[in-house]
Chains A and B, each alone.
Chain A
């Protein structure tokens, strides 16, 4: 668990805002959405790295950058040492084969006019995964892998439930025998009991196929359950990253602490120990100066309003981007 498969280095991405003629004339700066602001992390072979944060924090943007759906303005993403956005690498579609993505919405992520058989055989044919004659066998193997009955091959997406569609999405990704899977909110659209089925499937597949997984989700309980390591993102920046159990048992960043305590526990007597975060997520159009979290933080000092804390390793814990991580006691 040491070799990094994917290295993300200081990635920045801003979506350009529309500028009207009036804006240009009055010399107003364009209103860009700063989705990612210097994100760096390594994805190590065989691990599951969880990425958590609230909506709009940039976690899905990060996932989409990794599979080249978006191109960062700055920074690089290295796959086995090569920058995937370099011109020669871009032409190489084998990267897309080796790093696959699974999507959140079970309804829009499958082409409504294609049967499961067409969806899977297209993937197998385009990447020449096996001989033409072996395709049927390969497909029934895939259906087996995602635990769908064989007759599902000749059905259209609208004939399946949400959980079954996600299984087809997983089968499509696995058809091309990837090394890395990016799971963007894979189960958040599903009912709890179906969520558990899909999570179990993912854990099982990871072990059998030795997959490396980036698990993006907003549900902390799920992320805690599936991840070896976890990164907490706030306004396009990693504020804390570290070993999953350590981080969840002992969060160091005030935002991680608040996020954890806000998740509703199943224990009715667990009320009242909450850290209440005041206010809401600032708009990514206008990220506050200094520490982006200072406007909602209970522990802020004048330093926090001016100086951006860097991600730094902490003894016995992961890395934290907070000036006062040592002084802040856990609740």
Chain B
């Protein structure tokens, strides 16, 4: 689907669909999402709120099952996770595939020390004995850059600051040496200087452990600075995907172009910013044609009648648009 690589992908997602609700009021949160992630590669899933990026991430681990239905396939080492039982998924979650969230305070247990929480993960997913687990816990805290790791094992989450808490969460997530990390807006709640530290940490851990990462974010800057591949989502579908450099240098989908031009970077100060008119469509009443057509500056009659498929002409880029933008390098002046 994406870049042909010498590596074989560890995660291959095909036609993933997640639908919330039941009966008449169903919400098509994710539709026909396909991508793959190689070892040591970081894929950015980018989009605005309601675009389905977080639901996609949760669907990979079967976390959306409780609220709706997921179809399609998620091949993890050749094994389709969509059809696996909840018990199987529990073994995979936190073991081979780990996940971190936006707000560390709500995903850490406030009543257990950090050491106990790492220990818990290791007990569930590895065959290590108590002293090995302790050693690994210290090693992990050290690795994520927490000073005086050994002495901080006995501390509770509230004793850490915001950035440190996010590091703790990463330490817990990575303790069992997962091969894939799913990160849902891991730096959105943090300040820029701390964000830079955490992104660097994720980047270096991905390279050191040869771990694949799916990073969900709304910030194209974060994608530019961290990811290798990117998929842009709109109204539950991927509208453009490819290598980060290519997509950000020469975006071809009008939505990607609009998103990039909305960012006040390299724009003369105090001039009107480009803004995509209108708001995203309701997932309950999606138009028949392209979901972006109502806001698109270059829509045609065709766009309102039928939906463009994600086509992959050059073998490296896929764009779901009938009249893709051909402005090489114009968005980033």
Contacts and interface: CB of A to CB of B under 8 A. Distances in A.
Given A262-B195, A266-B260, A203 B332 contact: no
Nearest to A225: B264
A214 B332 CA distance: 29
Interface string B237-268: 00000001100110000000011101111010
Given A225-B269, A280-B164, A218 B224 contact: no
Given A163-B279, A191-B49, A268 B248 contact: yes
Contact of A266 (B48, B194, B265): B265
B326 interface: no
Given A191-B218, A199-B273, A220-B192, A267 B264 contact: no
A270 B332 CA distance: 12
Contacts of A245: 269
Nearest to B226: A264
Nearest to A281: B191
A193 B262 contact: yes
Nearest to B245: A268
Given A222-B264, A225-B264, A268-B248, A203 B272 contact: yes
Contact of B264 (A221, A262, A265, A271): A221
A114 interface: no
B204 interface: no
Contacts of B197: 276-277
A264 B191 contact: no
A259 interface: yes
A268 B225 contact: yes
Contacts of B267: 225
Contacts of A264: 192, 195-196, 199, 219, 221-222, 224-225
Contact of A263 (B162, B192, B244, B249): B192
Contact of A192 (B193, B199, B249, B262): B262
A195 interface: yes
Which of A194, A196, A227, A244 has the largest number of chain B CB atoms within 10 A? A196
A54 to B, nearest CB: 4
Which of B192, B218, B259, B269 has the largest number of chain A CB atoms within 10 A? B192
Contacts of A265: 221, 224-225, 265
B192 A259 contact: yes
A230 B48 CA distance: 29
A132 interface: no
Interface residues of B, number: 43
A266 B264 contact: no
Interface string A201-245: 001100000000000001011101111100000000000000011
A194 B218 CA distance: 13
B225 A270 contact: yes
A196 to B, nearest CB: 4
A171 B220 CA distance: 31
B193 A193 contact: no
A281 B192 CA distance: 12
Given A200-B273, A258-B193, A274-B196, A224 B224 contact: no
A203 B271 CA distance: 8
B163 interface: yes
Nearest to A164: B279
A137 B269 CA distance: 35
A31 to B, nearest CB: 15
B273 to A, nearest CB: 4
Interface string A251-287: 0000000110011111111110010110011010000
Interface string B151-172: 0000000000111100000000
Contact of B193 (A191, A225, A227, A259): A259
A301 interface: no
A225 B266 CA distance: 9
A271 B225 contact: yes
Contacts of B164: 280
A276 B204 CA distance: 15
A54 B220 CA distance: 20
Given A266-B260, A270-B225, A218 B269 contact: no
A258 B195 CA distance: 12
A94 interface: no
A204 B273 CA distance: 11
Contact of A268 (B249, B260, B272): B249
A228 to B, nearest CB: 8
Contacts of B7: none
The 4 A-B residue pairs with the shortest CB-CB distance, nearest first, are A264-B221, A196-B275, A225-B264, A54-B191
Given A224-B269, A267-B332, A280-B163, 20 more contacts: A163-B279, A191-B218, A192-B220, A192-B259, A193-B258, A193-B259, A194-B275, A196-B276, A197-B275, A200-B273, A220-B192, A221-B263, A225-B269, A262-B192, A264-B219, A266-B224, A266-B248, A267-B248, A268-B248, A280-B161
25 contacts: A48-B270, A192-B48, A192-B262, A193-B259, A193-B276, A194-B275, A196-B276, A200-B272, A200-B275, A220-B192, A221-B263, A224-B269, A225-B267, A225-B269, A225-B273, A262-B195, A264-B192, A264-B195, A264-B225, A266-B220, A266-B263, A266-B332, A267-B224, A267-B248, A277-B197
